[in-house]
A and B are shown apart, each in its own frame.
Chain A
């Protein structure tokens, strides 16, 4: 009995349950196109996600996946990545999942610099729970939980990622698939934690930040020094009439697995189990206790 090697990342017989027009369709197809173009195989890729509309993403692919609990897309990704550094790990989720309930993991994963690509489908609203304000909702936005408009400053994911020490920070827009694919491609090529804030409009619950709203505002970063943190922070603060897309910052730094005393030399999942199998002299281990 032989199993046919699957080279296609699109899940067979399953269709995303996202609303027609939802930006998430755009990230899904751009991701599938990019990983296929890179020659990756579904069995070598693990996609993790949290909870929310966008977090059903792994189910629409034929790769391995972890559809984790709310806000926890990144910790299991780190577990997979360190247990088997040979796998390609992609994490996805929404703004509520990644910037709200999972915000702590976002910060600490950035500073750890694992070789993981993290793409957040940012629609500035909670969609799955029917339209509540999210951490990235615009100030004054009237939602089902903010009848007088959002009163808290929206989170700035780009500045947050920069401040936390992310080594690749970018923004893309699902309407511009070609640019999005280019960004995904570069993010996946990056050795280290690659974060992409993906503008992915919600056509059902966010009547404020619509495609029309973004189309008028987005522009691509040009003549921008991606190695300059000050320039990156400067551009990160731009949001309103003009919204920059592209790579804000990229730098080389040793990755989590480069520095870890085990993963820098070994692939844990391939190592034998126990003291004796690893040629560890138990007597020597016990000597510390005598």
Chain B
């Protein structure tokens, strides 16, 4: 056991649990994050899941620090292995001198001994699952509690608040609480018999925090309720299901009708109906669901029906890698559906942003009467972090007609206006009766399909209406947010990124500016389509652009080329399905430093 003076001071610490599905990694993972949140640390969690119900290999990353964490680290200070696959997957990421806690009956070190020795890994082995069974025969989840308590002992942190967190989680379940308290005790004893307390954690200044530990999906769901969501139509799909699950749980309290539809097509068409009837409505899905919804997306654009569509991207195409991350649906979000149809695409950069962008998405959908995409991804939807409690923002419902006015004495649902936006009326508004129709139509929403289709008048109307619908994008290009620089001014190299990779790139920029002789900055985008014209001015400030996006074809790079004839030749891509980390990005970026 180390004495007090020799303890290693730490400001930031990264932990990874590896085990099988069913071991309770994700649920216990959230508890531990709540615990660190309570102590005032910044915390960041990320799951490594598989499409499996039980078994297989899954992992949970947890990291805490005194300063704000923007992304999880690749390198690990502590690895807790509940199966041998944990070593296969994560031992390469162990820092020199890191600690490995493992279950001696389930984990075979043989093939990894050499690597562990070369990295001077401190081994702490024990029969974690047997200790768990000794407390409660039927629950292996307690092995997580035991290893967590052992970790807290290692860190010299109190277990009292951890027990408080467990009590709160299992309120009125006395037996479960009792088992967990025994497990905590066992974990502490176990570590005392091994390394004892090795570290000395810097105490955060923040105390009695009101911060909340949420994931990206929950942030979107909360943002939707704050926006006045009344109808969610959704079909289960990873990694977007949590939105429906969270809102279902609180449906009555939040006043949000949650309809699990028979398929993706029904889900979006229900939402179109709800929006037509006057409520704020949303659907959420992932890439395969978007593929099924495309016809309805075009219909919403054609009928100018406000709609918020969450696409939590995963690896594609087809079933792809369903529980992993990719930013490969950017172009399909802009173009999905036949014909030409305007829409807005927003890609939140963080959990906080996911909440606030959702509010903007609803306001933009109503103001411009078109579909608005929230482009999340596995890396954002499933990450957890502690954030300042969200606040409500102004709700703008756009141009609604409730009766004759001077400007709109007669209701014409598709009245041609300067900015392309026409008044909407909801049933049972008298005088507002109209037919929503996907066929081209006149200002009164009278269909041109059928007998009027071939007449010269129809050609004229189709042209006018197409221009009207697309005029909204001109105004949106003024209204949407341009990219944001971070890092050194006039830097030698600029990493361009969009959406959820913001945190990883930001940490990479800090690293590169500290550890290389070059200067670096980043230009990150959240408002993807239509890109504001002002963007070109930002791009002109870049000396050497490097594009980082998690896809193969360089979709955002392609967009910059298309909009501004701006070429980015040097690219960093990531295709393995894991979310990016600062060390990966810095390593890749350094390959371009002499350019």
A residues 248-290 near B (Cβ < 8 Å) are 260-263, 265-266, 268-269, 271-278, 280, 282-283, 285-286, 289-290
A104 in contact with B262 (CB, 8 Å): yes
What are the nearest 6 A-B pairs in CB distance? A79-B273, A273-B228, A76-B273, A75-B269, A3-B431, A1-B404
Min CB distance A31 to B, Å, is 15
B433 in contact with A274 (CB, 8 Å): no
What would 17 more interface pairs be, CB under 8 Å, given A68-B299, A79-B271? Answer: A3-B404, A3-B430, A5-B430, A72-B265, A76-B269, A76-B270, A78-B259, A79-B274, A81-B273, A82-B257, A260-B257, A262-B257, A263-B257, A271-B255, A282-B392, A286-B210, A289-B214
A residues 173-215 near B (Cβ < 8 Å) are none
Min CB distance A97 to B, Å, is 13
Report the stretch among B183-191, B194-202, B443-451 that lies at the interface: B443-451
A76 in contact with B257 (CB, 8 Å): no
Chain A positions within 8 Å of B405 at CB level: 1
Min CB distance B421 to A, Å, is 20
Q: How far is the CA of A80 from the CA of B295 in the complex (A)?
A: 19
Chain B positions within 8 Å of A5 at CB level: 430
What's the interface size class on A, roughly? 35 or more
Mark A residues whose CB is within 8 Å of B.
Answer: 1-3, 5-6, 14, 17, 41-46, 48, 56, 58-59, 62-69, 72, 74-84, 86-87, 104-105, 107-108, 260-263, 265-266, 268-269, 271-278, 280, 282-283, 285-286, 289-290
What's the interface size class on B, roughly? 35 or more
B273 in contact with A290 (CB, 8 Å): no
Q: How far is the CA of A72 from the CA of B297 in the complex (A)?
A: 13
CB nearest to A278 among chain B residues: B255
B278 in contact with A261 (CB, 8 Å): no
| Interface majority SS (helix, strand, loop, mixed), chain A | mixed
Q: Indicate whether B485 reaches chain A with its CB closer than 8 angstroms.
A: no
Q: Write 30 A-B pairs (CB below 8 A) sorted by A numbering.
A: A1-B404, A17-B450, A43-B432, A43-B433, A44-B427, A44-B428, A45-B427, A48-B273, A58-B435, A64-B432, A66-B435, A68-B272, A69-B296, A72-B269, A76-B272, A82-B257, A82-B270, A83-B279, A84-B277, A84-B427, A86-B428, A104-B263, A260-B257, A261-B251, A272-B228, A274-B228, A275-B392, A278-B254, A289-B218, A290-B213
The answer to whether residues A286 and B212 also contact, given A3-B430, A14-B446, A78-B259 and a CB cut-off of 8 A, is: yes
Chain A positions within 8 Å of B37 at CB level: 290
A83 in contact with B230 (CB, 8 Å): yes
The answer to whether residues A268 and B279 also contact, given A43-B433, A290-B38 and a CB cut-off of 8 A, is: yes
Q: How far is the CA of A107 from the CA of B277 in the complex (A)?
A: 24
Q: How far is the CA of A155 from the CA of B522 in the complex (A)?
A: 60
A69 in contact with B269 (CB, 8 Å): yes
B279 in contact with A290 (CB, 8 Å): no
From B254, B275, B438, A68 is in contact (CB under 8 Å) with: B438
Min CB distance B9 to A, Å, is 28
| Per-position 1/0 for B243-279, Cβ under 8 A of A | 0000000111111110101110111111111111111
